[in-house]
Chain A
Amino acid sequence: MSIKLEHINYIYSPGTAYEKQALKDVSLEITQGEFVGIIGHTGSGKSTLIQHFNGLMKATDGVLYYEGKNIYDSGYNMKELRNQVGLVFQYPEHQLFEVDVLSDVCFGPKNQGLPPEECEKRAKEALELVGFPEKYYKQSPFELSGGQKRRAAIAGVLAMRPKVLVLDEPTAGLDPRGRDEILDQVEYLHKNTNMTVILVSHSMEDIARYVDRIIVMNHGEKMLDDIPKRVFAHYKELEEVGLAAPQVTYIMHALKALGLDVHTDATTVEEAAEEIMRSLHD
């Protein structure tokens, strides 16, 4: 039960003046139930990478196995793969189109060929999972606030009951509270279903709090792949490629440099506070 990439390469517009290698020899495996963060700046290949997970983009070279099967084999059921690997794009609210929220969320299940009652059941379930208020079910998706629109759009993918949920920058453009609400909701989802969640972001602070594992992409290559603490230990390298560790990492390092006996691997404010208190009491 996993997504496994072996030596994936992807080249944009090969043979033209705009040829560009977007992915370079990427190998990785994500097992069922993991909560993974993918980090990289714009153009690092992270969006290209996740579009390989559900077969929207086909590697120029390399193999991708989903649950042990090579998805590039002829006769592989791509549609089924897309049912299982749900992909929520950046600004997903830009794809809403139906007259009301409920019918929009039904679009996915309907495409799966389910009967109308079942579609509605799944849609309602999905909307509940993202904490979308029931009183707006029959409202036009275009009249909702930014945060609600985003929830409705995420529900649109969840209603297909995927085993893997990939979210591309789910908090882009939201205010701090909206951001926390969406991320908390995603965490809740992960805890309460056995879904694999892959969160793509360029904010270390966001990701550090939630995920168990971070994959750092740079220039189309996998640069780091480890638990957050160990990834942020490379904060100097991260900075060189235009990424930054969470602010607390810097504080801890600065304190240590000034002779305070702290461990520098705290990734969240709470952890850092505990660590500083501990070192001061020693």
Chain B
Amino acid sequence: MDMVRSEKLIFEYEKRDEEGNVTGMNRAVDGVDIQIAPGDFVAILGHNGSGKSTLAKHMNAILIPTGGTMWVNGRDTKDPAELWNVRQSAGMVFQNPDNQIIGTVVEEDVGFGPENLGVPTEEIWKRVEDSLKSVGMLEYRTNSPNKLSGGQKQRVAIAGVIAMEPECIVLDEPTAMLDPNGRKEVIRTIQELRRRKKVTVILITHYMEEVIDADQVYVMDSGHIVMHGTPKEIFSQVEELKKYRLDVPQVTMLAEELRKRGLKLPKGILRTQELVEALCQLN
């Protein structure tokens, strides 16, 4: 069974003028079909306003489709009886690290999810400790979140989701507001988690460097899925990506420039090492 699957997913909302009258409908997500297998690392790319965050919010039943269907772990997100199961199985990490931490102490925040699920006290403590350990934040357990760096706050947010023991974690631009160090910290944490817990990870981002390890990549533009494939397949289409207001890593860009200048390099080079090796073979 698929971890996340959508079929002809549509999300519309009303456009209003200044007086609040409805002037039309906006389609943020328009006929999206996706299919994500358990244990996969999937990236959804797109520029700001492409509909990628709206799509992500469907995976956690924060938004309910106005057309089509979204299934999470086989559960229809439209079904009110399944709401809490959906939210438990697909945990969500948001963009702004400050606006998703509820607790005033790190460990209390991580315990918030399990508390809501009605997990017994001793079990909560076990889970809190375990999840803080898995994001490397255990030594900060009694700190105030306000004193942490952006990357650390996002790791706490991730721990808060893990403590709910989801099968799938959806990260909605978790690095957009971080500096390069924070970004690396978060990406490393996600990779570590995948290795240890085998959860499905869905990463929404517009930073290309973060998706080179993904199993599959979806690219969105104006509510549609416009590209789908492995990172190699996606990044070999530099011009196409630029059309969707996206970028490629500098290595890929350099390889492309060299190809334009007549060098016979393979398409879709993603890592420094790959480029260096390819060049050496030419020489």
A residues near B (Cβ < 8 Å) are 41-43, 140, 145-147, 172-178, 202-203, 205, 242-244, 246-248, 250-251, 254-255, 258, 260, 269-270, 272-273, 276-277, 280
Min C-beta distance of A260 to chain B, whole Å: 7
A-chain residues with CB within 8 Å of residue B180 when the two chains form the complex: 41, 202-203, 243-244
A270 and B257: CB pair below 8 A?
A: yes
Which B228-257 residues sit within 8 Å CB-CB of chain A? 245-247, 249-251, 253-254, 257
A211-B208 Cα distance, complex, nearest whole Å: 24
Min C-beta distance of A207 to chain B, whole Å: 12
B-chain residues with CB within 8 Å of residue A242 when the two chains form the complex: 181
A-chain residues with CB within 8 Å of residue B276 when the two chains form the complex: 251, 254-255, 258
6 chain-A/chain-B pairs, Cβ below 8 angstroms: A173-B177, A176-B206, A178-B48, A247-B250, A251-B254, A277-B263
Question: Which of A42, A173, A205 makes the CB contact (< 8 A) with B176?
Answer: A173
Min C-beta distance of B229 to chain A, whole Å: 19
* Count of inter-chain pairs, beta carbons less than 8 A: 88
A250-B250 Cα distance, complex, nearest whole Å: 11
Q: A178-B245, A247-B272 are contacts. A147–B48 as well, Cβ < 8 Å?
A: yes
A273 and B257: CB pair below 8 A?
A: yes
Chain B: residues with Cβ within 8 Å of the partner, total of 34
A-chain residues with CB within 8 Å of residue B179 when the two chains form the complex: 41-42, 202
A-chain residues with CB within 8 Å of residue B249 when the two chains form the complex: 247
Let me know if B279 is at the binding interface, CB within 8 A: yes
Q: A145-B49, A147-B48 are contacts. A176–B282 as well, Cβ < 8 Å?
A: no
B177 and A248: CB pair below 8 A?
A: no
A273 and B279: CB pair below 8 A?
A: no
B residues near A (Cβ < 8 Å) are 18, 47-49, 149-150, 176-177, 179-182, 206, 208, 245-247, 249-251, 253-254, 257-258, 261, 263, 272-273, 275-276, 279-280, 282-283
Q: A41-B180, A202-B179 are contacts. A273–B47 as well, Cβ < 8 Å?
A: no
Closest residue of B by beta carbon distance from A205? B250
Question: Which of A147, A177, A203, A273 makes the CB contact (< 8 A) with B254?
Answer: A273
B247 and A176: CB pair below 8 A?
A: yes
A277 and B258: CB pair below 8 A?
A: yes
B-chain residues with CB within 8 Å of residue A202 when the two chains form the complex: 179-180
A-chain residues with CB within 8 Å of residue B176 when the two chains form the complex: 173
B177 and A41: CB pair below 8 A?
A: no
A280 and B254: CB pair below 8 A?
A: no
Q: A251-B276, A260-B279, A276-B279 are contacts. A42–B182 as well, Cβ < 8 Å?
A: yes
Min C-beta distance of B94 to chain A, whole Å: 13
B-chain residues with CB within 8 Å of residue A178 when the two chains form the complex: 47-48, 245
B47 and A269: CB pair below 8 A?
A: no
B-chain residues with CB within 8 Å of residue A258 when the two chains form the complex: 276, 280
A146 and B254: CB pair below 8 A?
A: no
B-chain residues with CB within 8 Å of residue A173 when the two chains form the complex: 176-177
B-chain residues with CB within 8 Å of residue A145 when the two chains form the complex: 48-49
Complex A-B, nearest 6 residue pairs according to Cβ-Cβ distance, in ascending order: A176-B247, A177-B245, A247-B250, A273-B257, A175-B47, A175-B206
Closest residue of B by beta carbon distance from A243? B180
B-chain residues with CB within 8 Å of residue A42 when the two chains form the complex: 149-150, 179, 181-182
B-chain residues with CB within 8 Å of residue A243 when the two chains form the complex: 180
B-chain residues with CB within 8 Å of residue A244 when the two chains form the complex: 180
A248-B272 Cα distance, complex, nearest whole Å: 9
A255-B258 Cα distance, complex, nearest whole Å: 14
A269 and B250: CB pair below 8 A?
A: yes
B245 and A280: CB pair below 8 A?
A: no
B-chain residues with CB within 8 Å of residue A273 when the two chains form the complex: 254, 257-258, 261
Question: Which of A203, A269, A277 makes the CB contact (< 8 A) with B253?
Answer: A269
A176 and B254: CB pair below 8 A?
A: no
Min C-beta distance of A142 to chain B, whole Å: 11
A42-B208 Cα distance, complex, nearest whole Å: 22
A258-B278 Cα distance, complex, nearest whole Å: 12
B246 and A176: CB pair below 8 A?
A: yes
B-chain residues with CB within 8 Å of residue A43 when the two chains form the complex: 149
A183-B182 Cα distance, complex, nearest whole Å: 23
Beyond contacts A42-B150, A42-B181, A272-B254: 18 other A-B pairs, Cβ-Cβ < 8 A, are A41-B179, A147-B48, A173-B177, A176-B245, A176-B247, A244-B180, A248-B250, A251-B251, A251-B254, A254-B273, A258-B276, A260-B280, A269-B253, A273-B254, A273-B257, A276-B254, A276-B258, A280-B283
